[in-house]
């Protein structure tokens, strides 16, 4: 059954340019600049990320074995990447044995063509959709539209985005950037037969969406979904959701087409016991999401009687071929890293230009689609981070995003020659390689306070570092080095207090 590779292995291709949404039109710093100017967006996102963050911490602390679950989750995914060919073949055979049909798509264009052909065969020119990152990534809705097929998003947030002719800004709550009055206006403008008296409280807005979509669920013969997990040993597919729109799409139509990235595989059904604990708690901060659907091929008399699975590469094998980038494929798209990221919190998702925003997007996007030289917006993504490490702590599968970002920065620097960043990195590594030099450098950095002045921020640095300050203010360096603080009265007092068990206030505490 297995393919024979002849000759030397070659580096697999990235996702093709011009297909799908893995590349924005603008570089991150430029895009971030006008997103930063949008105060409404920043307020909405700030409020939302803080709320989810607090809930997540509450429900993860509740589990005494949270760290053990993370370890298991991380190891299972690492094992998957090591055994991907055999697991995919096993999965394919199990799906076929249960009456499903399996298609393989090398890239976005091929996946779009396969799905279009499948929809056309059913004779329908409408499809209903479950929220899915994979179909977002390949630009499926837009492609179907060019083929005369209308795709209706059925997740409330996706519907808001779709009706607003907008792009999602968060992988979990795509309309996080919209508030109730904006949503009301979109519904009034775009939904047929909406009561003009429609109020703007969330319950009323949700009811309007329910009415609008009910008819679609009952009459559309084809549905398209993604998958959170595909189980190799049983051929089972899993979709995790809240609203019931997923269940509607997965069970009511005659034909179901599922597009799944090849990295979404889990070896055994038992592995779900790990991920169904990690995912809901990390993503919405709930103990469990309201609904999870699991199906294996076709069940006579229950649900769609025709099931097609499209397995998608689209740059995933290129990420796999990089021993560092491979780790990014472990991502289960929970969005915890977005919600803790200080950069994402201020810029929102649109600035990243990709289906995958935030810390993981900054790693995954260049991996899937490449960084083609210094004019490519994707080559600015690895710099869209403060490397504070919060994303690593939050990640349920322990992806070391900061290290991956540093590695990508290095690759980018190698590619495009000397930049401010390269110089800074060089200087930093020189300073850090000796402790006397490091202490001296830290003391010298104290001088930066004079440049920063009263506002405590450095807004413009002289060349060649002005590239850095063009997109961000640098906080003034601390008054003292850590070592000199440690030796001071203040430091000794704090240490004393810590010994007595009363922790001095730390930043992290504010979240809990």
Partner 1 sequence: MNSRDLVLGRIRDAITLAPAVDAEIPRNYRTGRTLPDDERIDLFVDRLVDYKAYVHQCAATGIAETIADILAANALKIVGIPAGLDRTWVADFYDELVVDSSDVPAPELERLDAVITGSAVSCAETGTIFLDAGPDQGRRALTLVPDTHICVVFGESVEVGVPEAMAKLTPERPTTMISGPSATSDIELERVEGVHGPRNLHVVIVS
Q: Within 342-361, which residues bind ligand SF4 (CB under 6 A)?
A: 360
Q: Identify the CA nearest to 31 among candidates 408, 377, 372, 436.
A: 377
Rounded Cα–Cα distance for residues 277 and 452 (Å): 46
- Report which DSSP code applies to 4: P
Q: Is residue 201 helix, strand or coil?
A: coil
* Interface of this chain with ligand SF4, residues 397 to 436, rule: CB under 6 A: 397, 399
Q: Where are the alpha helices (DSSP H) in 222-347?
A: 245-251, 272-283, 316-320, 336-340, 342-347
176 versus 351: smaller Cβ distance to partner 1:
176
267 versus 491: smaller Cβ distance to partner 1:
267
What's the first-to-final CA gap in the chain, in angstroms? 52
Stretch that binds partner 1, among 245-253, 377-385, 392-400, 454-462 (CB under 8 A): 245-253
Determine if 142 is a binding residue for partner 1 (CB under 8 A): no
- Structure token pair of residue 158: 């996706």
Task: Give every CB contact of residue 310 below 8 A, 6+ residues apart in sequence.
Answer: 103, 104, 105, 111, 114, 115, 257, 258, 259, 260
Determine if 272 is a binding residue for partner 1 (CB under 8 A): yes
Nearest distance in Å: CB 308, partner 1: 14
Determine if 332 is a binding residue for ligand SF4 (CB under 6 A): yes
Nearest distance in Å: CB 116, partner 1: 15
Stretch that binds partner 1, among 287-295, 370-378, 423-431, 492-500 (CB under 8 A): 287-295
Determine if 384 is a binding residue for ligand SF4 (CB under 6 A): no
Determine if 451 is a binding residue for partner 1 (CB under 8 A): no
Q: With CB cut-offs between 5 and 8 Å by kind, which of ligand SF4, partner 1, none does residue 60 bind?
A: none
User: Residue 222's Cα: distance from chain center in Å?
Assistant: 27
Binding test (CB under 8 A) with partner 1, winner from 301, 462, 463, 501? 301
- With tokens 């900061």, the residue in question is 402
How many residues sit in the footprint of partner 1 (CB under 8 A)?
A: 103
Stretch that binds ligand SF4, among 232-240, 268-276, 326-334, 426-434 (CB under 6 A): 326-334
Binding test (CB under 6 A) with ligand SF4, winner from 32, 111, 331, 458? 331
Q: Is residue 12 helix, strand or coil?
A: coil
75 versus 422: smaller Cβ distance to partner 1:
75
Q: With CB cut-offs between 5 and 8 Å by kind, which of partner 1, ligand SF4, none does residue 311 bind?
A: partner 1
Nearest distance in Å: CB 92, ligand SF4: 25
The angle subtended at Cα 250 by Cα 249 and Cα 251, nearest 5°, is 95
How many Cα atoms are found within 13 Å in the side-chain-facing hemisphere of 76? 26
Q: Identify the CA nearest to 244 among candidates 284, 205, 209, 203.
A: 209
Determine if 84 is a binding residue for partner 1 (CB under 8 A): yes
Determine if 167 is a binding residue for partner 1 (CB under 8 A): no
Rounded Cα–Cα distance for residues 9 and 3 (Å): 13
Binding test (CB under 8 A) with partner 1, winner from 289, 335, 355, 385? 289
Determine if 126 is a binding residue for partner 1 (CB under 8 A): no
Q: With CB cut-offs between 5 and 8 Å by kind, which of partner 1, ligand SF4, none does residue 335 bind?
A: ligand SF4
156 versus 336: smaller Cβ distance to ligand SF4:
336
Q: Where are the alpha helices (DSSP H) in 191-284?
A: 202-219, 245-251, 272-283
Q: With CB cut-offs between 5 and 8 Å by kind, which of partner 1, ligand SF4, none does residue 510 bind?
A: none
CA 366 to each of CA 133, 318, 328: distance values in angstroms, whole numbers, following the listed order: 16, 10, 11
238 versus 379: smaller Cβ distance to partner 1:
238
Q: With CB cut-offs between 5 and 8 Å by kind, which of ligand SF4, partner 1, none does residue 118 bind?
A: none
- Structure token pair of residue 60: 């993860």
CB neighbourhood size of 315 (10 A): 26
- With tokens 């590469």, the residue in question is 313
How many residues sit in the footprint of ligand SF4 (CB under 6 A)?
A: 14
Rounded Cα–Cα distance for residues 293 and 219 (Å): 21
Determine if 39 is a binding residue for partner 1 (CB under 8 A): no
Rounded Cα–Cα distance for residues 315 and 319 (Å): 7
Q: With CB cut-offs between 5 and 8 Å by kind, which of ligand SF4, partner 1, none does residue 190 bind?
A: none
117 versus 273: smaller Cβ distance to ligand SF4:
273
Determine if 115 is a binding residue for partner 1 (CB under 8 A): no
Rounded Cα–Cα distance for residues 281 and 285 (Å): 4
248 versus 413: smaller Cβ distance to partner 1:
248
- Structure token pair of residue 26: 């603008």
Rounded Cα–Cα distance for residues 55 and 335 (Å): 13
Sites of contact with ligand SF4 (CB under 6 A):
282, 331-337, 360, 394-397, 399
């Amino acid at each position: 059954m297995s393919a024979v590779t002849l000759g030397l292995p070659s580096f697999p291709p990235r996702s093709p340019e011009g297909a799908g949404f893995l590349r924005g039109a603008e570089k991150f710093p430029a895009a971030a600049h006008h997103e930063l100017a949008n105060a409404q967006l920043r307020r909405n996102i700030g409020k939302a990320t803080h709320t989810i963050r607090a809930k997540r911490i509450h429900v993860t602390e509740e589990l005494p074995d949270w760290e053990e679950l993370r370890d298991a989750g991380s190891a299972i995914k690492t094992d998957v990447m090591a055994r991907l060919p055999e697991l995919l073949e096993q999965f394919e055979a199990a799906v076929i044995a249960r009456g499903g049909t399996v298609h393989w798509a090398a890239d976005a264009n091929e996946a779009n063509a396969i799905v279009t052909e499948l929809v056309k065969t059913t004779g329908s020119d409408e499809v209903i959709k479950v929220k899915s990152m994979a179909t977002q990534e390949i630009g499926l809705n837009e492609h179907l539209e060019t083929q005369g097929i209308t795709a209706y998003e059925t997740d409330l947030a996706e519907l808001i985005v779709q009706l607003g002719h907008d792009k999602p800004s968060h992988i979990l709550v795509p309309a996080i950037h919209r508030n109730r009055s904006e949503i009301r206006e979109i519904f009034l403008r775009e939904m047929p037969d909406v009561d003009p008296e429609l109020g703007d409280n969330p319950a009323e807005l949700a009811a309007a969406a329910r009415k609008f979509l009910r008819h679609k669920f009952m009459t559309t013969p084809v549905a398209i979904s993604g998958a959170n997990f595909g189980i190799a040993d049983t051929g089972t597919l899993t979709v995790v959701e809240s609203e019931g729109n997923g269940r509607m799409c997965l069970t009511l139509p005659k034909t179901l087409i599922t597009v799944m990235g090849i990295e979404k595989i889990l070896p055994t059904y038992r592995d779900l016991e790990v991920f169904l604990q990690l995912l809901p708690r990390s993503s919405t901060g709930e103990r469990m999401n309201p609904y999870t659907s699991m199906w294996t091929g076709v069940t006579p008399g229950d649900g769609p009687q025709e099931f097609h699975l499209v397995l998608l590469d689209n740059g995933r094998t290129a990420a796999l071929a990089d021993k560092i980038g491979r780790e990014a494929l472990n991502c289960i798209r929970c969005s915890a890293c977005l919600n803790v990221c200080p950069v994402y919190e201020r810029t929102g998702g649109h600035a990243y230009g990709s289906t995958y925003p935030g810390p993981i997007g900054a790693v995954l996007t260049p991996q899937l689609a490449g960084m083609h030289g210094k004019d490519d917006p994707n080559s600015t993504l690895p710099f869209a981070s403060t490397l504070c490490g919060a994303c690593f702590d939050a990640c349920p599968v322990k992806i070391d995003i900061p290290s991956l970002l540093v590695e990508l920065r290095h690759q980018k620097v190698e590619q495009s020659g000397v930049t401010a960043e390269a110089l800074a990195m060089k200087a930093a590594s020189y300073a850090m390689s000796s402790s006397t030099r490091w202490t001296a450098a830290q003391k010298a950095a104290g001088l930066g306070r004079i440049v920063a002045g009263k506002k405590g921020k450095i807004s413009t640095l002289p060349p060649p570092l002005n590239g850095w300050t063009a997109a961000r203010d640098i906080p003034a360096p601390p008054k003292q080095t850590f070592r000199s603080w440690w030796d001071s009265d203040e430091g000794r007092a704090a240490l004393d207090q810590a010994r007595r068990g009363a922790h001095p206030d730390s930043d992290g505490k504010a979240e809990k």
